[in-house]
Amino acid sequence: MQQREIYITGAGIISALGVGKAASLEALLHARSGIGPMRQLQGTTHSHYPVGEVQLSNEELLQLLGMPPQTHSIRTGLMGMIAAHEAVEQAQLHLIRPQRTALISGTTVGGMERSEQHYLDFFEGQHTHYIALHNCASSTEQIAQHTGPYSLCSTLSTACSSAANAIAMGATLITTGRADAVVAGGAECLSRFHLNGFHTLMILDKQHCRPFDQHRAGLNLGEGAAYVVLESEQSARQRGVEPLCRLSGWANTCDAFHQTATSDNGQGPYLAMQAALQMAGLQPHQIDYINAHGTGTPNNDISEGRAVERVFGHRVPPLSSTKPFTGHTTSAAGSVEAVIAMLAMQHSFVPASLNVQQPMEELRFRPTMQTIHNVELRHVLSNSFGFGGNDTACIFSKP
Partner 1 sequence: MGIYIQSAAQISIQKPLTDEWLQQPIEHTQHHVRAIEPNFRDYLEAGESRRMGRIQKRALATALSALQQAQLDMPEAIITGTGLGCVESTERFLQAMVRSGEDFLQPTHFMQSTHNTIGSQIAVKLGCHGYNNTHVQDGVSFESALLDALVNFETGRIRSALVTANDELTPDYFALLGQLNYWKQEPITRQTLFNAQTPGAFAGEVSVAFVLQNSRNELSLCQIYALELLHRPSPEQLASCLSLMLSDNNLTLSDIDAVMIGKSGDRDNDAIYAQHAHLWGGRPMAWYKHLFGESFSASGLGLYAAIKCLQHKCLPSHMTLNGASISNPNCILMYNHFMNREHSLILLSTC
Question: In Å, how far from its chain's centre is CA 325?
Answer: 13
Residue 67 in the binding site for partner 1 (CB under 8 A): no
Residue 155 in the binding site for partner 1 (CB under 8 A): yes
Measure the CA–CA gap between 203 and 339, rounded to whole angstroms: 26
Applying CB under 8 A, which part among 71-79, 296-304, 315-323, 385-393 lies near partner 1? 385-393
Residue 387 in the binding site for partner 1 (CB under 8 A): yes
Contact with partner 1 (CB under 8 A) among 38, 60, 122, 207: 122
67 or 152: whose CB is closer to partner 1?
152
Residue 141 in the binding site for partner 1 (CB under 8 A): yes
Radius of gyration of the chain (CA): 19
Residue 298 in the binding site for partner 1 (CB under 8 A): no
Residue 115 in the binding site for partner 1 (CB under 8 A): yes
Contact with partner 1 (CB under 8 A) among 27, 54, 91, 156: 156
Q: Which of 199, 194, 393, 183 lies closest to 308, judged by CA?
A: 393
Applying CB under 8 A, which part among 87-95, 172-180, 346-354, 358-366 lies near partner 1? 172-180
Measure the CA–CA gap between 274 and 361, rounded to whole angstroms: 25
Applying CB under 8 A, which part among 53-61, 249-257, 345-353, 377-385 lies near partner 1? 249-257
Residue 23 in the binding site for partner 1 (CB under 8 A): no
DSSP 149-216: --SEEEEE-BTBTHHHHHHHHHHHHHHTTS-SEEEEEEEE---HHHHHHHHHTT-B-SSS--TTBTT-
Query: What's the one-letter identity of residue 333?
Result: A
> What's the min distance (Å) between Cβ of 157 and partner 1?
4
Which residues in 180-239 contact partner 1 (CB under 8 A)? 192-193, 196-197, 199-202
Total residues contacting partner 1 by CB under 8 A comes to 67
Burial 327-337 (b: 16+ CB within 10 A, else e): bbbbbbbbbbb
Q: Which of 302, 282, 304 lies closest to 385, judged by CA?
A: 304
- Enumerate residues 6+ apart whose C-beta is below 8 A from 290: 308, 316, 317, 318, 319, 320, 380, 381, 382, 383
CA count, 13 A, side-chain hemisphere, 92? 12
153 or 372: whose CB is closer to partner 1?
153
60 or 233: whose CB is closer to partner 1?
233
> What's the min distance (Å) between Cβ of 388 and partner 1?
3
Q: Which of 363, 393, 358 lies closest to 379, judged by CA?
A: 393
225 or 363: whose CB is closer to partner 1?
225
23 or 193: whose CB is closer to partner 1?
193
Catalytic residues: 160, 293, 328
Residue 131 in the binding site for partner 1 (CB under 8 A): yes
- Enumerate residues 6+ apart whose C-beta is below 8 A from 205: 49, 50, 216, 217, 218, 219, 220, 296
**Residues in contact with partner 1 by the rule CB under 8 A:** 1, 44-46, 103, 108, 112, 115-116, 119-120, 122-123, 125, 128, 131-132, 135-137, 140-141, 144, 148-159, 165, 169, 172-173, 175-176, 178, 192-193, 196-197, 199-202, 252-260, 267-268, 271, 386-390
